[in-house]
Amino acid sequence: MIPPPAQCLEEVCDAIDEVNKLKGTPSWDDASTFDADKDKTKFRQYEDACDRVKSFYREQHEKQTVEFNINVRAAFKKTVRARMGIWEAMELLNTLVDESDPDTSVSQIEHLLQTAEAIRRDGKPEWMQVAGLVHDLGKLLHIFGSEGQWDVVGDTFVVGCRFSDKNIYPDTFKGNPDHYDPVYSTEYGVYAPHCGLENVMLSWGHDEYLYNVLKNQSSLPEDALYMIRYHSFYPWHREEAYMHLTNANDQRALEAVRAFNPYDLYSKSDDPIDPEKVKPYYQGLIAKFFPEIIEW
């Protein structure tokens, strides 16, 4: 049945939800029941974090300049770092211990599987399970030869305009030369008001890298790519910083990322998973959304 023409914004939104339901794209209103029983005060306690986490962020906040971000993107485009499939990439990543993360001591493959399994248990669509499965694979950058962990892991933020004090450890940006730049230190910096996040340079790391690798090498829907690209952008998706740079399209992205976040964060306390047990299931999903070999 063709729905009657919509009268107002609310009806337009309802109509979009209706179409999405038909397509199997979830509406994010009924996002997650998964985090209800989690004690959220146990996660992301940066004030109480160990020195490893604090010094990680000091270094990252001092070194992620506009200049670095322009150069690293140019270098990214020049080469293919490796050729391999998704599962192989997950196994390779397993050697990394993330210095920025106060909440997980499990290996990276386990974190990916815990995220995917939590999404699966909640009855979410296959593409979202896959987003969970791969979302941190960008951390491979560290194995391919990044400068350190500061250009791979951790929360992301905008470069090219004033650093928001909603970032964690905001004082540490005083060590970043951009903090004193006459343009980069202003509210809008190099950006026009509401230019949209796609036109904004986020600090370089596993989100930006993986998004760029997968956008042309998967059949994942746009919402999955938003989840990958913005999952570490806590100052935005949790603290609502940088809203002066977003446009209407980013609203959809925000809903998708917020729907994804509890699975990423709160599954860190779930029971361990044996990769071999779930491998056949996820290899089936991988085959649906990715070519056998990815150019990393």
Ligand X SMILES: O[C@H]1[C@H](O)[C@@H](O)[C@H](O)[C@@H](O)[C@H]1O
Query: Annotated binding residues, as ranges?
Result: 44, 98-100, 111, 135-136, 139, 154-155, 206, 231-232, 264
Q: Is 108 in the site for ligand X (CB under 6 A)?
A: no
Q: How far apart, in whole angstroms, are the C-alpha atoms of residue 35 and residue 72?
A: 36
Q: Is 154 in the site for ligand X (CB under 6 A)?
A: yes
Number of residues lying near ligand X (CB under 6 A):
10
Radius of gyration from C-alpha coordinates of the chain: 19
DSSP string of 32-57?
A: -SGGGGS-GGGS---TT--HHHHHHH
Candidates 84-92, 98-106, 118-126, 238-246; binding stretch for ligand X (CB under 6 A):
98-106
Among 25, 32, 89, 98, binds ligand X (CB under 6 A): 98
> Which residues lie closer than 8 Å to 108 by C-beta, 6 or more apart?
90, 93, 94, 96, 98, 136, 139
Which of Fe ion, ligand X, none lies near 154, with the C-beta cut-off 5 to 8 A by kind?
ligand X
Nearer to ligand X, 120 or 231 (CB): 231
Q: How many CB atoms lie within 10 A of CB 152?
A: 24
Binding mask 224-253 for ligand X (x = CB under 6 A): -------xx-x-------------------
Q: Which residues are annotated as a binding site for Fe cation?
A: 111, 135-136, 206, 231, 264
Q: How far apart, in whole angstroms, are the C-alpha atoms of residue 205 and residue 194?
A: 23
> Which residues lie closer than 8 Å to 27 by C-beta, 6 or more apart?
17, 20, 21
Helices 222-230 and 206-214: crossing angle, nearest 10°?
160
Which of ligand X, Fe ion, none lies near 100, with the C-beta cut-off 5 to 8 A by kind?
ligand X
Q: Is 264 in the site for Fe ion (CB under 5 A)?
A: yes
> Which residues lie closer than 8 Å to 168 by C-beta, 6 or more apart?
46, 57, 155, 234
Do the beta carbons of residue 43 and residue 268 sit within 8 Å? yes
Candidates 151-159, 176-184, 243-251, 254-262; binding stretch for ligand X (CB under 6 A):
151-159
Candidates 13-21, 225-233, 236-244, 269-277; binding stretch for Fe ion (CB under 5 A):
225-233
Residues making contact with ligand X (CB under 6 A)? 98, 100-101, 136, 153-155, 231-232, 234
